[in-house]
Amino acid sequence: MQLKKHHFGDQFLWGIATAAQQNEGAYMTDGRGLSIWDTFAKRSGKIEDGSKPSFATDFYHRYKDDLMLAKALGFTVFRFSFAWSRILPEGTGKINKEGVAFYHKLVDAILQLDMVPMATIYHWDLPQALEAEGGWTSHRMTRWFNRYAAFLAEEYGDSIKHWLVLNEPMGFTSLGYMLGKHAPGKMGISNFFPAVHNALLCQADGGNMLKATIKNGLIGTTFSMSEVMPNTDSNLDVDAAKRLDALLNRLFLEPSLGRGYPQENGSFFEKMELHNKGWKYIDRMKCNFDFIGIQNYFAVTAKHNPLVPYIQLAEVTAKARKVPHTQIGWEINADSMYRIIKRVWHYGSVKSIMITENGACFKDKLINGEVNDAERIQYFSDYLQALYKAKQEGVNLKGYLAWTLTDNFEWNMGYEARFGLVHVDFKSQLRTIKNSGYWWRNFLK
């Protein structure tokens, strides 16, 4: 079946997702303070291509042109994030009026194009000033976050009705506070446990505050979710996959549904429960979100590995298994997204689901003014089929946001990993719509 926009219904939201740190640049412009990524990128070897997010795609100055591109491709929702350090350069205290004014101009421009603004409160760019005080591991984190979130709701709540609290909390807590691969580069469970707990409290506090503040709002949060499959049918591999699934997919979702921390066998989860006294915070971690944002890029295969501390497992890569994968090794498996959607829906207490990010990175080449990214077109086509199948089977799906509009600063991979529907020459900032962008334009007609 050749899918088209109308198959998903008139109320289905079609959008594009972006993030401040990855696009805005202008990192020292108009009073903006430093973020943890500005600092992290200066450390030798932390960014694969040695680059920095200082200029990124210069969205701060080019937002009107980029919004026109999104509109021209047929999208009706534009997701962006607030840069905390542009609003509050020190994380707390004095408000930066220029930063506040920028986001008013951005939202006004989105609305003038008859598009829907969708705002993310926190997309991984903590102010460096707060990190110096402990960041997400600090007992003051909820106080800092709640003040920031309340300011945004009060300032922009009349014009923005679609909100997301956190972007992929498992991502920034594990990569940034346990494995050290992302900013701020901390390692160990002594950092991970409090970061997880504080993020869970902020997620619920922020969601509940938004629901009480935004009239006629649609309030959600986002989870990075990947189906986890055992490498073999052995009990050891099956148990390893269950442990990884609890970590990747259940750790932040289930507390938000009022279930508390995942109750899984293993010293890792027992230590987390004991350290964070999760049983005392079950009610505090709950939020009756209007929708759950699923961000799905790949499936994961796990095997037992007794040499890995605490979780005793390791990933078996898509390349090693010789299955289809993207440029950066992420497994391409649309059926796994379908199963993730169905699984979240089967929790029963989930009101609705939105795919708030989905996309792929390939070795795009600009040749004679054209980027023929046929692999990306096939990727989107397959994943939309999976989305449609879930919708046909009764899942209340609100919308789908493609990641992302333009190539950008892709965290620790720098500028070499290109996910955009629009190619960017980072020296000249020249934009060129890829064939996948034109494919979306035709799909959304």
What CATH number corresponds to the domain at position 401?
Answer: 3.20.20.80
**Count of CB atoms within 10 A of residue 349's CB?**
12
If you write DSSP's letter for every residue of 9-66 in order, what string do you get? -TT-EEEEE--HHHH---TTSTTPPPBHHHHHTTSTTSSTTS--SSSTT-HHHHHHHH
**Is 264 an annotated catalytic residue?**
no
Cα(40)–Cα(48) distance, rounded to whole angstroms?
12
**Count of CB atoms within 10 A of residue 355's CB?**
28
Tally of domains within the chain: 1
Q: Which domain holds residue 106?
A: 5-443
Q: What's the N-to-C CA distance of the chain in angstroms?
A: 17
pLDDT, tens digit only, all 445 positions of the chain: 899 999 999 999 999 999 999 999 999 999 999 999 999 999 999 999 999 999 999 999 999 999 999 999 999 999 999 999 999 999 999 999 999 999 999 999 999 999 999 999 999 999 999 999 999 999 999 999 999 999 999 999 999 999 999 999 999 999 999 999 999 999 999 999 999 999 999 999 999 999 999 999 999 999 999 999 999 999 999 999 999 999 999 999 999 999 999 988 778 899 999 999 999 999 999 999 999 999 999 999 999 999 999 899 999 999 999 999 999 999 999 999 999 999 999 999 999 999 999 999 999 999 999 999 999 999 999 999 999 999 999 999 999 999 999 999 999 999 999 999 999 999 999 999 999 999 999 999 9
Pairing of the two strands 291-295 and 300-304: unpaired
On the question of a cis peptide bond just before residue 184, with omega within 30 degrees of 0, the verdict is yes
**Is 273 an annotated catalytic residue?**
no
On the question of a cis peptide bond just before residue 404, with omega within 30 degrees of 0, the verdict is yes
Q: Which helix (H) or strand (E) holds 79?
A: strand 77-81
Evaluate whether 346 touches 292 at the Cβ level (below 8 Å). no
User: Residue 257: what are its φ and ψ, rounded to 5°?
Assistant: -90, 5
Tokens 């945004």 correspond to what residue?
A: 152
Q: Which of 24, 168, 227, 410 is catalytic?
A: 168
> In terms of Cα–Cα distance, which of 41, 35, 10 is closest to 415?
41
354 strand-pairing partners: 293, 399
Q: Which of 24, 227, 331, 357 is catalytic?
A: 357
